[in-house]
Each structure stands twice: as C-alpha cells, then as structure tokens.
DNA sequence: ACGGGTATTACA
DNA sequence: TTGTAATAC
C-alpha cells in the first residue's frame, strides 16, 4: 500500500527517522537546499479510525519542584536549578515560574540569571563522583509515572513527561457514568481550558456546560471524559507527590502535546477537533514537535512556511517533492492536525547512561585521566544497573562507550571518535575494565595508524572532551512460569553461593528516613514500590493465581528475593510482550476487542463490565467528596503566589564528590576479545549481587541442555535481549526521504 | 569550545 | 550487530 496515494483516505501516524543531511547544490549561500535523506524524521503510519483520547502530562519546571519539595522554603520563590556552579554561576536547567516572570530562561548562566533577577535562588544539581547526579529527578519522575499509569496505557516520554492513552477509560465512563449524568463536576476539571470555547463572564460555568453537554458529538464527549480523568489524575499526583503538572487532552499525541504547554503551570487544556484548524492556522511551524530543527528551518527558508496553517497552501505532492513521500504526507497530515502515532506502553527507560563533558581546556589528555573518569562514570552506571536489577528485575545486555575528542595537532581533526560497544558484564570492576578497553579500541581507531606505540600516558595531540558509558538492550526477567522457577531452583542447588543475600543488599542500602522508607526499597523509590502502595491503598485486587503461586514458591525455596522484590507485572509488560500479565488498568478496564487467548488460560480480564461499572461509580463518588482540588490546595496555603505548598521534609544536602582514585594504572593494551559472541550477558555472582545472580557461562553449557526443551527456550528468552521486530516498519512501507543540507 | 546530561529512534 | 546522527527536554 502506498501511503502517498492514500494519505487522505487513511490518516497517518507519525514515527521517527533519524536524519541525514546532504547538500545538493555546490557551496554558495543561495545554493538550493533539498532534502536528500531521511532519518529521525516523522514517518507515516495508518491510523485506526476510532477516535482516541490521548493526554500529554508535563510536569511544571520539574527539577525545581523536586528541589522545592526537598527544601520547602523555596516554594513560591524565584528559583532555578543549576549545574556546575563553578563557571559563571553554572548553567540553568530548570526555572520556576516566579523566576520566569523576571525573564530568567533555561540555558542562561547563573550569573546572568542573578543580574536579571537578583533574588533568585539557585539550587545546584546534586553532584556525585564529580558529575551531575540526576537520580533524584529520575526517582521523582517514577513516582509520577506510577500514579499516571493507573488509568490507561502510559508512555514515559522523558523524565518529566508522559503520554496517556485514556481511550478505554473514557469510553467506559461515557458508557456507564457519562458527565451529562453527573450532578457535580470536579472543580479541577471545571478549570480546564477548552480551545475554541468562548469564555464569558463565568468561564467555569461555560466549561462545566461544555463538559456535560448532552448534545455534544461523541468525540467531544470522549474528550470531556478524558478531561475528567486527567483532572483526577493530576490531583492525585499533587496529593501523593506534591508536584503540579499541566496536561493536554486531545485525539492524538501531537495535539495533546501541543495543548499541555498552552496553559502552564498546573492547568489542563482540551482540544476539541472543531478547534484544530484555527489552532494550527497561526501556530509557528517551529512549535510543532519534530519541526523544531532542520526540517522546520527548511520549511521556513525554502517554502516560506511560517505557521502550520501555511502548510495547507501546498499540495501533498508538492510537499512530497521537497521532502520525500513520507515526510510530505506527514507534513500534509500534520497541517490538518492528523497523527496516529500510538502511545507505547513504557514505564521504564530502555537504557541508562552516565556521561560528562570536559570542555575546552579541561579536555582529558592522558589515558590515566580518562581511566579515572571512566571509572567514575562506570561506578554510577553500575549502581543504576544494580538498582534496575533489584527493583525492576531487568538486565542490560550491551555496554557502549561514547567519546568526543579533538586532535589539536592534526590535519583531519574532523574525525569523530568512534563509539564502541560490547556485551555487558555485571559488576563495577568488569564494567570499568570493559569500558576502558572500549575506549582504547576507539582511541586506536581514532588516532589511526600513526599510533605507533603511543600507549604512553603522554599527550599525543589528542584531547577527550566528552565521555559517556551507557547500558542498553535491557530486558525484563520473565516471571510467572513454573519452569523458570524450577530452573532457579536447579541453579541454587548447583551454585549454593547464589543464595546470598537480599539481606545484605538491604543492609548496604543507605539508611532511609521513616517517611522515605515507605516509598523506597533498595535505596530508591521505584515505580514498583510506589505502585504497590497505591495498589494497596486502593481496592484489593484479586491476585493472579500463578503470580501468587510463584511468590509462594520463591518464599518456600528461600529463594533469593523477598516477596516484595519479585518482579511486578507493570515491569514485565514493558519489555516482555508475551508475558502472561496485563497492566493493572487493563484488568480493571478490559479491552474487550483484545484477543482473550492472549492471557494464556488465566484471564486477567475476567472482571465483568458490571463489576467495573460499579467500581468506577464508587471511585468517583469517593473521590468527589472530601477531595481537595488543586486550586483549593493552593488557596489553603495562605500564599499570594500560585504555587505554595507546605511540606516538611528534610533539606537536601548535596554531597561533594570524592575523586580519589590515585591508582592510575598504566594504560593497558587490552583488545576486545569479548566482542566475539561467545560471551553473552553474564551475571557475576559476587558480593552485592542479588542472590539469584549467577554466571551464565558456567551453567548454560552443562545445565541448560539437560533441561526440558520448553524450559530451555524460556531460559534462553530470559538470557538474550529480545530482538526488536522490524516487521512493523517493513509492513508499514516506510520509505526514505531526505533532509536539507546542513548549514555550516 | 560551556546548553549538560540523558534518552529515544532509526538506518546503514 | 554495531555505529552514527538527529531531536528534545
């Protein structure tokens, strides 16, 4: 199927490609730029005709809020979060709304901000191991995701943003408990902004009327339900995390994202389809996601398109002529507010990285200093991998090293330092060792053949200006099958040392304050732990029998993990599509059209619709009485500024790093023998390892083959990263398109 | 070469 | 599969 031909008949979705820039013309300023490659750019996909309810939730100046929660005296103040205070006051990465009134902007230096706003409070990003440590923000983000994922499919789009697909919940509400039958609408929902709705003297009444109209279109009614649900979720976020957020509710991700930024902070915006054309008509093209870069610039310069509406002047064919079939269609649809990109189910990140830049004069000039910094980075990475393992039961399979370098002395300093990767072995020492090997391999390649015996520590004209290590191909360890449990049991018998110690791990974890204790396990708040609390506080769920069985089994066998350390369904669902579990919301809000056989005999969608209805009703009424709305929350806090919430928690004391690593070993001439296949993910079972860690190399030859076929396959699936299926994009007929030449 | 540190996506 | 590049917050 050619999407170019059917673009209008079948609305398209956006995907992404990475872009490749080529200049067609020869030099000159007015050489015509043309798109000659397409990467990282939007891609068209068919969209189901059903009308969806999509929300985008965006935390308000998130890092600032996290710091304000830690240090409540900062609430309501002009404040910003800054990193690396040393140089010109550091760089701002988040700015409170109070400070924005003074013209303080992200990416200002701290000193600049002080000039514009002398009263501003600058809070430093925590530093650990000589580098910025973003863990507190990641963890805070997880708290939020745990709440926002309650009502529908949730995609963690970044540390502080999520997309929600609330279609099912909205449909259910419309069917069972439609707004038009409600006598009261939550205060927060009434404060929604509805695009295209003229606000009279009583905007709240207008909105209330819009939300409850009985003569509205079905699409509008669904959006109204979405608005009620999102208002409730936002209130829950505020009550449970003390963070405010803003949201957009629309029929697709693109519009929801657009809307979430329109009324900030702490507000939500609804985009009825009737408002779309007017909205886009005057919207600057660069404001659209995906058009903030080169493609947007090309549209401006080459086509004179300054607003999304301007795009409508161009035929799809014309756009395709300039930007290729796919992007042309994508632009054509974007101009009409059409996008079918799906909300992915993803609560956890797919990779972890730790990096640092060493700008200009601070460039690293010796292998020893590189080794020192790599060591720091690897320690952080290893720690995060360990947390992921303990909290989410996931294993990363690939270690990658990235570096930026310059050759001061050399003709071809164009050359990029190549990134290198290898199978990831757990254990800080191993990660360090491998990362260093990767670096040295990259350095040899970077320096080229002239590197005759330069293994010495001395500067040969190169400098490293950026270093990072990352772990990817993270897969969840399946649970919920008998055979896997039996397999573990075998392991335990063969390798008693694997029995080790969730106890030790817990002892090693930093001491927690009582209040933190309830939210944390293993040292960091996790999606799972917070979700567990939430679940506990809500209606008791009927437990999945197999899951229960497995937990019992874990316990009986004295197996490694305390029950609460077992994988949660929410975790597994992310990367394990075949897992026999569904996310919680899908149990409560069954997707009836879904193939019931998927649930492999034990239906998780067994709750009847009737049951659900009554529960939904109960939930509503419970919520509605006695719940503070966000505005009341604000008002009750005796403040003249918008955001003032009291909070008694301990102030954050950011610790300084100790860069002590005096033993700079001489550079080693390791070669990357590990890259050759044989060694796959290994879990070294030493100290500080969960009890169920083991070294796969030692068992999979001797033991794995002894196991029944079925078990072998399960174990293999567990051990290997899942292959991402390419079938989707193939089937979608994605074609290539081309990007404008890069301006130098 | 101070917009840092991450994260995702897609293609060769 | 590994490596590269773009985008965005």
**Is the pLDDT reported for residue A581 higher than 70?**
no
**Is the pLDDT reported for residue A605 higher than 90?**
no
Start-end of H helices in A538-658: 545-556, 569-575, 584-588, 609-624, 630-635
Mean pLDDT of chain A: 66
Mean pLDDT of the region A256-272: 94
Q: Are A224 and A209 in contact (CB under 8 A)?
A: no
Higher pLDDT, A584 or A117: A117
Mean pLDDT of the region A719-726: 43
Q: What is the DSSP string of A71-124?
A: SGGGTTS-EEEEE-TTTTT-EEEEE-HHHHTTT--TT-BHHHHHHH-TTPEEEE
Question: For residue A197, what are its two tokens?
Answer: 């709705």
For the ranges A349-363, A380-394, A596-610, A696-710, which has the lowest average pLDDT?
A596-610
Task: Give the pLDDT band of residue A585 (cuts 50, 70, 90).
Answer: low
Point out the residue nearest to B3 (C-alpha to C1'). Answer: A107
Task: Give the pLDDT band of residue A400 (cuts 50, 70, 90).
Answer: very high
Task: Give the pLDDT band of residue A560 (cuts 50, 70, 90).
Answer: very low
**Is the pLDDT reported for residue A640 higher than 50?**
no
Q: What is the reported pTM?
A: 0.69
**pLDDT tens across A668-699, in order?**
333 333 333 222 333 232 222 232 333 333 33
Task: Give the pLDDT band of residue A205 (cuts 50, 70, 90).
Answer: very high
Higher pLDDT, A715 or A203: A203
Q: Are A655 and A126 in contact (CB under 8 A)?
A: yes
Q: Are A523 and A387 in contact (CB under 8 A)?
A: yes
pLDDT of residue A415: 78
A422 touches strand C (CB under 7 A): yes
pLDDT of residue A340: 85
pLDDT of residue A412: 63
**Is the pLDDT reported for residue A262 higher than 90?**
yes
**Is the pLDDT reported for residue A506 higher than 90?**
no
In this structure, how many other beta carbons lie within 10 angstroms of the beta carbon of residue A517? 10
A284 touches strand C (CB under 7 A): no
Task: Give the pLDDT band of residue A42 (cuts 50, 70, 90).
Answer: low
Task: Give the pLDDT band of residue A469 (cuts 50, 70, 90).
Answer: very high
Task: Give the pLDDT band of residue A439 (cuts 50, 70, 90).
Answer: very high
SS3 of A542, please?
coil
Nearest nucleotide from residue A677 CA, by C1' atom: C1
B strand bases under 7 Å from protein CB: 1-12
CA-wise closest residue to A260 among A55, A98, A51 = A55
Mean pLDDT of the region A274-300: 89
- Residue count of chain A: 744
Q: Which of residues 114-173 of A touch strand C (CB under 7 A)?
A: 158, 160-161
pLDDT of residue A692: 31
Point out the residue nearest to B6 (C-alpha to C1'). Answer: A353
Query: What are the residues whose beta carbons fall under 8 Å from the beta carbon of A523, sequence distance 6 or more?
Result: A387, A509, A510, A512
Contacts for A389-392 with beta carbons within 8 Å, 24 or more apart? Answer: A389/A426, A389/A690, A389/A693, A390/A505, A390/A521, A390/A522, A390/A565, A390/A690, A391/A521, A391/A522, A391/A524, A391/A526, A391/A527, A391/A528, A391/A529, A392/A348, A392/A476, A392/A526, A392/A527, A392/A528, A392/A567, A392/A571
Q: From the CA of A20 to the C1' of C6: give the distance in Å.
A: 8
In this structure, how many other beta carbons lie within 10 angstroms of the beta carbon of residue A366? 18
pLDDT of residue A47: 55
Q: From the CA of A723 to the C1' of C2: give the distance in Å.
A: 14
Q: From the CA of A606 to the C1' of C4: give the distance in Å.
A: 47
Mean pLDDT of the region A41-57: 74
Task: Give the pLDDT band of residue A318 (cuts 50, 70, 90).
Answer: confident
Burial of A486 from C-beta contacts in 10 A (0-12 / 13-18 / 19+): middle
Catalytic residue annotation of A: 161
For residue A525, say if its preceding peptide bond is cis, omega within 30 degrees of 0. no
**Is the pLDDT reported for residue A255 higher than 90?**
yes
């Amino acid at each position: 199927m050619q999407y170019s031909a059917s673009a209008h008949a079948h609305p398209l979705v956006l995907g992404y490609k990475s872009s490749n820039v080529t200049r067609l013309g020869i030099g000159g300023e007015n050489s015509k730029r043309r798109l000659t490659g397409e990467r990282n750019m939007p891609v068209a996909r068919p969209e189901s005709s059903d009308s969806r309810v999509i929300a985008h939730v965006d935390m308000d100046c998130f890092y600032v809020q996290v710091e304000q929660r830690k240090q409540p005296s900062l609430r309501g103040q002009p404040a910003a979060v800054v990193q690396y205070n040393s140089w010109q006051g550091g760089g701002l990465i988040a700015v409170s709304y109070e400070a924005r009134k003074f013209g303080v902007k992200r990416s200002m230096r701290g000193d600049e901000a002080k000039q514009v706003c002398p009263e501003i409070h600058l809070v430093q990003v925590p530093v650990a191991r000589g580098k910025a440590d973003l863990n507190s923000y990641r963890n805070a983000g997880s708290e939020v995701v745990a709440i926002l994922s309650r009502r529908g499919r949730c995609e963690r789009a970044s540390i502080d943003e999520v997309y929600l697909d609330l279609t099912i919940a909205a449909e259910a509400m419309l069917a069972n408990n439609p707004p038009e039958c409600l006598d009261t609408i939550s205060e927060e929902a009434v404060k929604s902004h509805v695009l295209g709705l003229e606000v009279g003297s009583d905007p709240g009444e207008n909105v209330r009327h819009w939300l409850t109209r009985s003569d509205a279109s079905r699409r509008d009614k669904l959006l109204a339900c979405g608005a009620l649900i999102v208002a409730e979720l936002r209130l829950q976020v505020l009550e449970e995390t003390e963070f405010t957020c803003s949201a957009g509710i629309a029929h697709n991700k693109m519009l929801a994202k657009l809307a979430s930024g329109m009324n900030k902070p702490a507000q939500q915006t609804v985009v009825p389809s009737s408002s779309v054309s007017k909205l886009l008509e005057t919207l600057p093209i660069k404001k659209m996601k995906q058009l903030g870069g080169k493609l947007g610039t090309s549209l401006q310069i080459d086509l004179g398109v300054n607003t999304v509406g301007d795009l409508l002047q161009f035929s799809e064919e014309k756009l395709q002529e300039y930007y290729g079939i796919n992007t042309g269609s994508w632009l054509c649809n974007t101009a009409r507010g059409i996008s079918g990109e799906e909300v992915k189910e993803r609560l956890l990140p797919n990779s972890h990285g730790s990096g640092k830049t060493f700008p200009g004069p601070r460039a690293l000039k010796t292998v020893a200093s590189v080794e020192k910094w790599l060591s720091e980075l690897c320690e952080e990475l290893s720690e995060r991998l360990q947390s992921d393992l303990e909290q989410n039961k996931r294993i990363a399979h690939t270690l990658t090293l990235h570096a930026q370098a310059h050759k001061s002395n050399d003709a071809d300093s164009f050359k990029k330092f190549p990134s290198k990767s290898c199978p990831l072995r757990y254990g800080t020492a191993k990660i360090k060792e491998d990362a260093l090997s990767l670096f040295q391999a990259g350095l040899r390649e970077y320096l080229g053949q002239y590197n005759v015996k330069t293994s010495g520590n001395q500067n040969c004209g190169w400098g490293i200006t950026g270093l990072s290590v990352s772990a990817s191909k993270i897969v969840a360890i399946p649970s919920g099958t008998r055979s896997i449990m039996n397999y573990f049991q075998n392991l335990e018998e063969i390798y008693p040392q694997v029995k080790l110690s969730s106890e030790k791990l817990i002892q090693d974890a930093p001491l927690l304050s009582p209040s933190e204790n309830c939210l944390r396990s293993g040292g960091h708040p996790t999606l799972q732990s917070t979700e567990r609390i939430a679940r506990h506080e809500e209606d008791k769920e009927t437990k999945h029998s197999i899951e229960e069985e497995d937990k019992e089994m874990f316990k009986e066998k004295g197996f490694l993990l305390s029950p609460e350390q077992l994988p949660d369904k929410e975790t597994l669902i992310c990367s394990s599509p075949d897992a026999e579990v569904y996310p919680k919301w899908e149990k409560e809000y069954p997707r009836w059209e879904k193939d019931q056989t998927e649930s492999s005999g034990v239906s998780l969608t067994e709750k009847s619709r009737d049951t659900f209805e009554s529960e939904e009703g109960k939930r509503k009424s419970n919520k509605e009485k006695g719940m503070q709305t966000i505005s009341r929350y604000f008002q009750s806090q005796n403040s003249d500024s918008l955001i003032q919430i009291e909070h008694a928690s301990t102030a954050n004391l950011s610790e300084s790093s100790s860069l002590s690593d005096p033993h700079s070993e001489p550079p080693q001439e390791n070669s990357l023998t590990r890259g050759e296949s044989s060694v796959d993910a290994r879990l070294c079972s030493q100290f500080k390892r969960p009890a169920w860690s083991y070294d796969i190399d030692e068992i999979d030859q001797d033991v794995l083959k002894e196991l029944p076929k079925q078990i072998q396959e399960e174990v293999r699936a567990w051990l290997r990263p899942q292959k991402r299926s390419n079938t989707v994009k193939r089937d979608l007929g994605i074609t290539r398109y081309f990007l404008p030449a890069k301006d130098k």
